[in-house]
């Protein structure tokens, strides 16, 4: 080796050393940054700061008691949830709710976000989770909040457990930590997501996030509460009409309402008004809408009316054909699970599923679309029935192909038939079409014959946005 070569080798070595050192330094820096992001605060929020969402709050009140008196539950060997999953649209107050939980229980609040863990150095995410739990355990009782849990807890595709991803490692660390502390520690992990459908089912198993609470977009009453909550902190002129603002804000989340009131307050300040007035809110509303891609108020109102008739159809036919099915609520506010919606609960889930029962269920599924057709005409049906159609088709296929309930194919399983004989399933397709068409026709007639009732329900829904079963039944003469 001549001296040039030696110099070159030294040069390369210095360069490599420099790069490695630099990487190490920035990795260290990143660790420090991440640790600082574990944000600890004592929360002064209470459930009073959260408007609406009555049922979610009730469910969380039980958790408050559990954090305060873990021994009480341990003595009974009652297993309380270690993990609570809050799911629902963005801005509906999930973070607020978790803070209020910590505030009510009077314990520290540790918050991280799943998105912070994406694209960090290998092993860092898992280490950070372990650190977080170590800190929380040291402080005794606490609420650990993980926002955007979907960023680390995504469904693994095709059950393919690679276990090599940084996300997987972080998730595994989380699950290990959660099973690693006892039921009597008074630590509760609260996670939030806008997309429960993308979550790995491993997260939802018992002993993990087994308490799942939906945080819904506010209905008219809840919106009034939220508006009131924020206006009560300001000087408000007499011309302000809460009902009007509630009507204006259909499909708004809590965060959007808070933003609207804040915008209105800014306008008031700009104009040196000493009070916030209805006109300030009106103008703020136009600003807020212009700034986003939100549909305008008129379109929202039209959408609400169409949805009201659709849901009224479901609700009426359900009460009429299957009165033993309890309706928890009928609502025109979309949920994360699908558009609009009525929530059913069957009496005890153990009723015998007869042929008649399946036909009735098909009719209930079709009643939304049927009502659209009856009240707005065949040409004006909407995409709102997509989900209903999917469910009905699947049920009808089983009716024909698996349950052997069709008169022309008694006791035949078509899956077996096609596997063993390699025949085409065109009979099933024809029969499914015939069955669905027949029941749809009956459903349209049923709605037509009860036009007044269905339209009364729809009008009430447009006005109130949510109806309970009692309210629904009180409308029957
Ligand atoms: P999420 O976590 O569901 O995205 P946040 O809790 O971050 O929503 O909500 C953002 C802000 O919107 C809150 O800090 C609060 O000001 C307001 N907000 C949302 N929902 C409510 C509610 N139900 N009551 C009062 N304020 C709310
Ligand atoms: Zn429907």
Instruction: Determine whether 311 is an active site residue.
Output: yes
DSSP conformational letter for 154: B
Q: What is the pLDDT of residues 286-318, one digit of tens each?
A: 888 765 445 567 787 888 999 999 999 999 999
State phi, psi for 52 to the nearest 5 degrees: 65, -155
Residue 162: the pLDDT is 43
Confidence of residue 37 (pLDDT cuts 50, 70, 90): very low
Residue 360: the pLDDT is 96
Residue pair 39/112 in contact (Cβ under 8 Å)? The answer is yes
Residue of minimum CA distance from atom 6 in ligand 1: 93
**CA atoms in the 13 A half-sphere facing the CB of 318:** 26
Confidence of residue 31 (pLDDT cuts 50, 70, 90): very low
Q: Which atom of ligand 1 is nearest to the CA of 99?
A: 6
* Cα 96 to ligand 1 centre (Å): 5
Residue pair 141/185 in contact (Cβ under 8 Å)? The answer is yes
Q: Which atom of ligand 1 is nearest to the CA of 86?
A: 3
Question: Mean pLDDT over residues 432-441, rounded?
Answer: 98
Confidence check: pLDDT of 30 > 90: no
Residue of minimum CA distance from atom 27 in ligand 1: 254
Residue 140: the pLDDT is 83
Instruction: Quote the tokens at residue 284.
Output: 């703020």
Q: What is the pLDDT of residues 333-353, one digit of tens each?
A: 876 655 566 666 666 566 788
Residue pair 96/200 in contact (Cβ under 8 Å)? The answer is no
Kindly report whether the global pTM for this prediction surpasses the value 0.85: no
Strands across the sheet with 108-113, in order? 39-42, 108-113, 142-147, 187-193, 83-87, 211-214
Choice from 85, 86, 93, 145 to test ligand 1 binding pocket (greatest atom count within 8 A of CB)? 93
The answer for residues whose C-beta is within 8 angstroms of residue 425's C-beta and 6 or more apart is: 401, 414, 418
Instruction: Quote the tokens at residue 175.
Output: 């699950």
DSSP secondary structure letters along 274-308: SSB-HHHHHHHHHHHHHHS-PPPHHHHHHHHHHHH
* Cα 435 to ligand 2 centre (Å): 19
The lowest-confidence range among 110-114, 163-167, 238-242, 467-471 is 163-167
Mean pLDDT of the chain: 84
* Cα 52 to ligand 2 centre (Å): 25
Q: What is the pLDDT of residues 363-418, one digit of tens each?
A: 999 999 999 999 999 999 999 999 999 999 999 999 999 999 999 988 999 988 88
Q: What is the pLDDT of residues 154-175, one digit of tens each?
A: 776 555 444 446 667 888 889 8
Give the ligand whose atoms come closest to the C-alpha of residue 370: 2
Q: Which of these is catalytic: 311, 372, 373, 469?
A: 311
The share of the chain scoring above pLDDT 70, in percent, equals 82
């Amino acid at each position: 080796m001549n001296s040039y070569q030696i110099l070159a080798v030294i040069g390369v070595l210095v360069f490599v050393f420099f790069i490695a050192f630099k990487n190490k330094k920035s990795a260290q820096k990143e660790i420090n940054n991440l640790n600082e992001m574990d944000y600890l605060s004592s929360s002064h929020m209470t459930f009073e700061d959260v408007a609406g969402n009555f049922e979610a709050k009730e469910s969380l009140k039980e958790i408050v008691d559990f954090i305060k008196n873990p021994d009480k539950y341990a003595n009974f060997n009652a297993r309380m949830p270690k993990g609570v999953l809050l799911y629902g649209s963005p801005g509906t107050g999930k973070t607020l709710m978790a803070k209020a939980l910590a505030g009510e229980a009077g314990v520290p609040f540790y918050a991280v976000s799943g998105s912070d863990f994406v694209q960090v150095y290998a092993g860092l995410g898992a280490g950070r989770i372990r650190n977080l739990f170590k800190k929380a355990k040291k402080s005794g009782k606490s609420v650990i909040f993980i926002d955007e849990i979907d960023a680390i807890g995504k469904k693994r595709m095709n059950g393919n457990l690679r276990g090599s991803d940084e996300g997987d490692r972080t998730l595994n660390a989380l699950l290990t930590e959660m099973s690693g502390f006892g039921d009597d520690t008074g630590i509760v992990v609260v996670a939030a997501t806008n997309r429960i459908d993308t979550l790995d089912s491993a997260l939802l198993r018992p002993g993990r996030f087994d308490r799942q609470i939906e945080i819904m977009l506010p209905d008219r009453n809840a919106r009034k509460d939220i508006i009131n909550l924020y206006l009560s902190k300001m000087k408000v002129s007499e011309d302000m009409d809460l009902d009007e603002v509630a009507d204006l804000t259909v499909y708004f989340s809590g965060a959007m309402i808070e933003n609207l009131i804040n915008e209105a307050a800014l306008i008031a300040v700009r104009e040196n008004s000493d009070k916030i007035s209805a006109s300030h809110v009106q103008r703020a509303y136009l600003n807020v809408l212009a700034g986003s891609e939100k549909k305008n108020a008129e379109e929202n109102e039209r959408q609400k009316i169409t949805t009201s008739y659709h849901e009224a159809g479901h609700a009426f036919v359900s009460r009429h054909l299957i009165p033993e099915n309890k309706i928890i609520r009928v609502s025109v506010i979309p949920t994360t699970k699908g558009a609009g919606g009525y929530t059913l609960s069957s009496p005890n889930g153990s009723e015998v599923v007869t042929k008649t029962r399946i036909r009735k269920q098909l009719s209930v599924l079709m009643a939304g679309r049927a009502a659209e057709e009856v009240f707005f005409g065949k040409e004006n049906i909407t995409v709102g029935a997509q989900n209903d159609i999917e469910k009905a088709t699947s049920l009808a296929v089983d009716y024909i192909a698996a349950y052997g309930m069709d008169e022309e194919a008694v006791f035949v399983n078509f899956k077996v038939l096609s596997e063993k004989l390699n025949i085409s399933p065109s009979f099933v397709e024809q029969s499914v079409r015939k069955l669905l068409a027949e029941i749809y026709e009956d459903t349209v007639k049923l709605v037509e014959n009860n036009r007044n009732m269905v339209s009364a329900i729809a009008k009430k829904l447009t006005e109130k946005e949510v109806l309970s079963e009692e309210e629904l039944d009180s409308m029957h003469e």
